[in-house]
Amino acid sequence: MQIIESFSELGNHISQIPAEVKLKAYLHNAWFSVENIEKALKGIEIYLQKENLQKWLAPYQNRLPTQAPKKVAVVMAGNIPLVGFHDFLSVLISGHTLMARMSSDDKVLLPYITQKLLEIQPDLDKRLVFVEKVNEADAIIATGSDNTALHFEYYFRNKPHLIRKNRVSIAILNGKETRDELENLGEDIFTYFGLGCRNVSKIFVPVGYNFELFFQAIEKFAGVRNHHKYFNNYEYNKAVYLLRPVKHLDNGFLLLSQNEEMASPVACLYYDFYANEEELKQKLNLQKHKIQCVVSQNAWWKGSIPFGKAQYPELWDYADGVNTLDFLLNL
Residues of the chain with pLDDT > 70, as a percent, come to 100
User: 53-85: per-residue pLDDT in tens?
Assistant: 999 999 999 999 999 999 999 999 999 999 999
| Mean of pLDDT values over 241-268 | 97
Residue 282 near residue 268 (C-beta atoms within 8 A): no
Model pLDDT, residue 232: 98
Domain borders along the chain are: 2-166, 168-306
| Torsion over CA: 114, 53, 1, 76 (sign) | negative
Q: What is the mean pLDDT of residues 46-52?
A: 97
Domain spanning 2-166 has what CATH number? 3.40.605.10
Rounded to an integer, the average pLDDT of 180-189 is 98
- Listed residue (130, 140, 127, 141) closest to 3, CA to CA: 127
The DSSP output letter for 207 is: T
Evaluate whether the domain defined by 168-306 bears CATH number 3.40.50.2300.
Answer: no
Q: What is the pLDDT of residues 120-176, one digit of tens each?
A: 999 999 999 999 999 999 999 998 888 888 888 999 999 999 999 999 999 999 999
Determine phi and psi for 92, rounding to 5 degrees: -70, -40
Whole-prediction pTM: 0.95
